[in-house]
Chains A and B, each alone.
Chain A
């Protein structure tokens, strides 16, 4: 299965600043997914990042707030901009596993963001 390295693992940021999260995969993948996991809640898909094209954002998420880069097939960044306390969450990078029949997702260890 894919090995996903995500950093930073945690950060404390002041409101109004931005945080950029990096995600590195040990194999080439077409799609990379960014999720948000708010305290005590489930995962919500923020966007899907395809190499060479604009990311596709889910309802309720916009590029100005969550700009994404995908410069190559093994790397992506998610920036959370103009931070407010409501952005305090765990942010997870994920990729699809190989195989047919609905392959599972593989996740990084997440970035725990606290906004003060």
Chain B
């Protein structure tokens, strides 16, 4: 399986709880992106990693959202004190080299439901 994988595929949690969403990019891809897709909308950018560092985190909605990529491969999106409005599909994408005309390949997403 050479594609982007995301776990869990579905997550149900209660308001106020903490959640972690994991993304495994395509092997060798240096760039990794997180997007959030609400029902009936297009994906919205959250954060972009080049290697281990966050190159652009301008899309994170507030300080409850945080993401890491400690070894430059797997990334974890962390949401503290979840709210019902955080319910959405969280998509991860990776690309080989951000400087070139490289496609962003998307994973299937994690569907988060906050009750």
**A in complex with B:** no
User: What residues of chain B have their CB less than 8 Å away from a CB belonging to chain A?
Assistant: none
